[in-house]
Structure 1
């Protein structure tokens, strides 16, 4: 399967348009049509409906494979390129919003560009060579690695661990508790903030059956913006205790069960030099 044809297919499926995909890729619309026809001929099945332009059942299945396949190709190309390149004196660092405190541990003379990114985007950006180093955070068991997407060979180094808490409005009935069990809050209303707080699907995976219903979804990367929503009574959120400190309108009650921690890990490729 030609990866160039596969990239064209992914672009057309994403845009729902041959012309928009052509503009993105720098091809003519005719060339895009030829790519799709060649890929369909190779696989022996139709991948896209034409009116409207949308993946067929076979196309949907191919899309499930296409992202990881193309990412691994990009990761392989970047990894080989690093072998022949001189080590970078100053690093391009990607950091998730709740891992920014770990930046203090980086040598100032090694740090160049710093980009605050959604935590889900960082492993792929390190694998593809877009970042020299990634600082990513998440919730996990004390002895378990962070659950990261499969993007290619990466080396993870634990930078710091801290307790988790449930962020509540200061006047909430549970705000005076000394500890909370997450399964007891499965039927509460939550803010789904995958870029900052612990994502709700992660709570469901770790804590077992339960609704963990989202009252609203926050797609920003500003932690203080999320805490303002908590303070306004829009829902609960699970965060490291340090993220809640210093606010009078939000209380962080420690999570006592299940036994979980907030961890920050530094990600680099095998060809990268250790920093921590």
Structure 2
């Protein structure tokens, strides 16, 4: 299956238009139509209805596979490039909003390599993991809530190495005046009927909360797609919804009640593929191996 055809198909499906996909990809509309037709011939099924543009059942199923396939190909290309390219003069570290980053260790490595430019970019979990896989980032610190024995749920990006660099307790964050603010512990399932902030990049999203308790509920309230931890805590303090967060980030206006059932931890993992010498030095420092 030709990845160029898959990329064109994905663009048409995402944009809902052959002409818009042609503009984005730099092709003519006729070329886009021909590529989609060639893919349909290859898989032996119609993938798109033309007027209006809409996915068929077969197209919807193929689209589910297309993202991971293209991501794995990009990751493979980036991994080979890291091994065969010239030594870089820059290292880019990605970090999710609540990742535990020790700035002292970063500064030590920077001072030891004054000719290498180090950059930290804050982004979402999927953005950081895929950025490492595709070479936009040299390594990443990704945080999340999980069971103590489970790894973080990351996109399927291929051969990435992960190392746990920090773990801490998890709390339900709520306003200081909330009736539960004085509790010593809570079962997460008991809060299934509460309203939760829908902040997938800065807190634990409702869908993952449901997975933790293997049940329903956890209605998403105000949606916050951003990555600013201060803004998230301000929303919690104002009563916009509850949030499952690491205890270490709370402010005086926000109280935290420990989650006792199920047992959960907030973990930061270092994620990387093949490493250049400067990136390897930073990875060793961040993981405590230097």
TM-score normalised by L of structure 2: 0.89
Count of residue pairs brought into register by the alignment: 274
Aligned to 1:96: 96
Aligned to 2:225: 219
The CA deviation at 1:197 is 0.7
2:149 corresponds to which of 136, 143, 160 = 143
Aligned to 2:271: 267
Summarize the Cα distance change of 1:52–1:102 in structure 2 as closer, same or farther, 3 Å threshold.
farther
CA distance in 1, matches of 2:272, 2:158: 11
Aligned to 1:7: 7
Aligned to 2:132: 126
CA distance in 1, matches of 2:148, 2:46: 48
Aligned to 1:239: 245
Aligned to 1:256: 260
**1:183/1:210 contact within 8 Å kept:** no
SS at match of 1:267: strand
CA distance in 1, matches of 2:186, 2:104: 31
Aligned to 1:108: 110
Deviations 1:193-230 (A, max 9, x none): 11101111111111221311112221111111111111
SS at match of 2:99: helix
The CA deviation at 1:180 is 1.9
The CA deviation at 1:15 is 0.5
CA distance in 1, matches of 2:169, 2:89: 34
CA distance in 2, matches of 1:102, 1:180: 30
CA distance in 1, matches of 2:94, 2:28: 35
Unpaired segments ≥5 residues, structure 1: none
The CA deviation at 1:143 is 2.6
Q: Which moved more, 1:92-101 or 1:80-89?
A: 80-89
Summarize the Cα distance change of 1:73–1:268 in structure 2 as closer, same or farther, 3 Å threshold.
same
Q: Does 1:159 align with 2:165?
A: yes
Q: Which moved more, 1:143-152 or 1:131-140?
A: 143-152
**2:101/2:141 contact within 8 Å kept:** no
Deviations 1:64-109 (A, max 9, x none): 1111111111111111111112343531111111115345433334
CA distance in 1, matches of 2:196, 2:53: 36
Aligned to 1:181: 187
The CA deviation at 1:163 is 0.7
CA distance in 2, matches of 1:143, 1:57: 38
Aligned to 1:21: 21
Unpaired segments ≥5 residues, structure 2: none
Summarize the Cα distance change of 1:104–1:95 in structure 2 as closer, same or farther, 3 Å threshold.
farther
Q: Which moved more, 1:8-17 or 1:180-189?
A: 180-189
CA distance in 2, matches of 1:56, 1:206: 33
CA distance in 2, matches of 1:81, 1:90: 15
